Amino acid sequence: MARIFSGIQPTGIAHLGNYLGAIRNWVALQEGNESIYCLVDLHAITVWQEPAALRAQTRTNAALLIACGIDPERSILFHQSAVHAHARLAWIFNCVARFGWLNRMTQFKDKAGKDREAVSTGLFVYPNLMAADILAYHATEVPVGEDQSQHLELANDIAQKFNHDYGVEFFPAIHPRIIGGTARIMSLRDGTKKMSKSEVSDQSRINLTDDDDTIAQKIRRAKTDPADLPDHPERLEGRPEARNLVGIFAALADISPAEVLRAHGGQGFGPFKERLTELVVAKLTPIRTETLRLAAAPDHIDAVLQKGAARAAAIANPIVAEAERLVGLLPAS
């Protein structure tokens, strides 16, 4: 039985990319593992979040995870800020990770954009907090989308350097669990950019709470190219938008892209988009309905998260206390 850790930022509402790249795997990995899933609100505030919106989004995403099949009795589901061990270990990792390592992180470069001087220092040290999230539990399996693979390598570098500096085998190696074809779902407006919560245009993504009309409209307006769908995946080369829509279809229908093209190759995008809309609506309607039902009881969600936080703290506190002792910090009590 492995210990799994993963997280999602309450920077917006979880979208189809989060679902196919991460959440769907989280649900499956509950079976036979000890799974810990976290709403990483401390990560979210590395970019400005309106406080009331942050609170609402944290609750809605918690409801969404439960609606997608995360069982808070079986898994540990909680909000990051409630377990102080994350921030305590992150500070130690700020002192272990090297400036040059963080300087190479492509997500920082993407998110900081051109105006590097103006972004928060939190955004720069974000990967150290992510390493702490995982290593505070001695978790070894981390199911994430492909965009997080560089951060996981860095987490391993931090763990190794800590072990080396303090002469112990304290932190274990982390194994990314990145699942093939759905590891990177792309924006509906630009097939070269990943679908993201923080992208300004809401048209670029399908949020898991979008209603049927919104889903239909976003797919209808999704960028494509003038050619018809090919009959073989090899001919999707150089057609990122077409590849993305075929990939989404395949993932939701649980078939391969080749099978999608066997059925739909030679068609124009008009009819294909209609079939895709039907499929997305069929998959998301039950999730949306259940999310709205759960979100109507915010006190219940808070209670679920607080209970999860107590269970998480019971694992993380002794591990982080030991890391502090190894570093030479005196015990807190």
Residues that bind ligand ATP (CB under 6 A): 8-9, 11, 17-18, 21-22, 144-145, 147-148, 183-185, 194-198
146 is annotated as contributing to ligand binding = yes
Which residue of the chain is nearest ligand ATP when measured via CB?
21
194 is annotated as contributing to ligand binding = yes
State whether residue 322 is helix, strand or coil.
Answer: helix
Q: Is 223 a catalytic residue?
A: no
Q: Which is nearer to ligand ATP, 248 or 309 (CB)?
A: 248
Q: Which is nearer to ligand ATP, 131 or 323 (CB)?
A: 131
3-8 and 34-39 as β-strands: parallel, antiparallel, unpaired?
parallel
Q: How far is the CB of 166 from ligand ATP (least distance, A)?
A: 29
Phi and psi dihedrals of 186, rounded to 5? -95, 165
100 is annotated as contributing to ligand binding = no
Q: Which is nearer to ligand ATP, 92 or 205 (CB)?
A: 205
Among residues 114, 161, 197, 283, which one is catalytic? 197
Q: Find how far residue 217's CA is from the centre of its chain.
A: 25
10 is annotated as contributing to ligand binding = yes
Question: What letter does residue 21 receive in the DSSP assignment?
Answer: I
Q: How far is the CB of 37 from ligand ATP (least distance, A)?
A: 11
Q: How far is the CB of 70 from ligand ATP (least distance, A)?
A: 13
75 is annotated as contributing to ligand binding = no
Helices (H), the chain: 16-18, 24-29, 41-44, 51-68, 85-96, 99-103, 106-112, 121-135, 149-166, 212-221, 240-253, 257-264, 269-295, 298-327
Q: Is 197 a catalytic residue?
A: yes
- Could you tell me which of 301, 285, 22 has the C-alpha nearest to residue 178? 22
Q: What whole-number distance in Å separates Cα of residue 76 and Cα of residue 82?
A: 13
Among residues 109, 114, 193, 194, which one is catalytic? 194
Q: Is 194 a catalytic residue?
A: yes
Q: How far is the CB of 195 from ligand ATP (least distance, A)?
A: 4
Q: Which is nearer to ligand ATP, 25 or 224 (CB)?
A: 25
- Could you tell me which of 22, 28, 24 has the C-alpha nearest to residue 6? 22
Question: What letter does residue 113 receive in the DSSP assignment?
Answer: T
Annotated binding site for L-tryptophan: 133
Residues involved in catalysis:
111, 194, 197
